[in-house]
């Protein structure tokens, strides 16, 4: 299972609070980091436990979107959790069949994430499959172990 799919599987978990999709650097302001020639990269994770101020305190330039459609009743809700960071890497100029770059797709995911139906496992699985398929058309996914996660408050 690739790192993005592993992270997105968490969407099937009911949370007491909203899921947040966090992307760094902010694709609304930056076209991705340039770690190697001809490559751009972004980092993405799902977080239902951290205070977003902690990301700023760690110096991350990020954007996020919240979705509370998976909110469970107190008896169904699991402990708040956060996934590991996933590195999304690709040629910044490569485009999907309909002409979108990775940056375009990430902006679109952030815009649409609040309305995704995450109320049951089947719907969450469909969201995960669609997101992985769209991004996977022009990007690869890697595990990130060197980005610190903010401490929960």
The answer to whether residues 136 and 97 touch, using CB atoms and an 8 Å cutoff, is no
Q: What is the pTM of this model?
A: 0.85
Question: Quick one: pLDDT at residue 78?
Answer: 64
Listed residue (96, 103, 102, 91) closest to 38, CA to CA = 91
Instruction: Quote the DSSP letter at residue 10.
Output: G
The answer to whether residues 102 and 110 touch, using CB atoms and an 8 Å cutoff, is no
pLDDT digit string, tens, across residues 124-152: 999 999 999 999 999 999 988 755 555 55
Question: Can you give the residue ranges of every domain in the chain?
Answer: 3-143
Residue range 96-114: mean pLDDT, rounded: 96
Helix (H) or strand (E) holding 49: none
Listed residue (28, 12, 5) closest to 116, CA to CA = 12
How remote is the C-alpha of 129 from its chain's centroid? 13
The answer to whether residues 22 and 55 touch, using CB atoms and an 8 Å cutoff, is yes
DSSP for 18-49 reads -EEEEEES-TTT-S-B-SSTT-EEEEEEEESS
Q: Take residue 108 and report the two structure tokens written for it.
A: 């679109």
pLDDT digit string, tens, across residues 26-74: 898 888 888 788 899 999 999 988 888 887 877 778 999 999 887 664 4
The answer to whether residues 50 and 150 touch, using CB atoms and an 8 Å cutoff, is yes
Listed residue (10, 46, 51, 18) closest to 152, CA to CA = 51
């Amino acid at each position: 299972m690739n790192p993005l799919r592993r992270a997105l599987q968490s969407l099937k978990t009911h949370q007491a609070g909203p899921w947040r999709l966090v992307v760094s650097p902010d694709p609304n302001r930056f076209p991705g980091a340039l770690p190697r020639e001809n490559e751009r990269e972004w980092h993405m994770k799902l977080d239902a436990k951290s205070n977003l101020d902690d990301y700023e305190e760690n110096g991350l330039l990020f954007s996020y979107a919240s979705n509370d459609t998976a909110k469970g009743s107190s008896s169904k809700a699991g402990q708040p959790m956060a996934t590991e960071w996933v590195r999304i890497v690709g040629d910044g100029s490569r485009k999907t069949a309909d002409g979108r770059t990775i940056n375009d797709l990430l902006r679109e995911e952030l815009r649409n994430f609040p309305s995704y139906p995450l109320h049951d496992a089947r719907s969450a699985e469909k969201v995960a499959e669609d997101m992985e398929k769209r991004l996977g058309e022009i990007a690869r996914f890697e595990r990130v172990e060197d980005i610190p996660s903010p401490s929960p408050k």
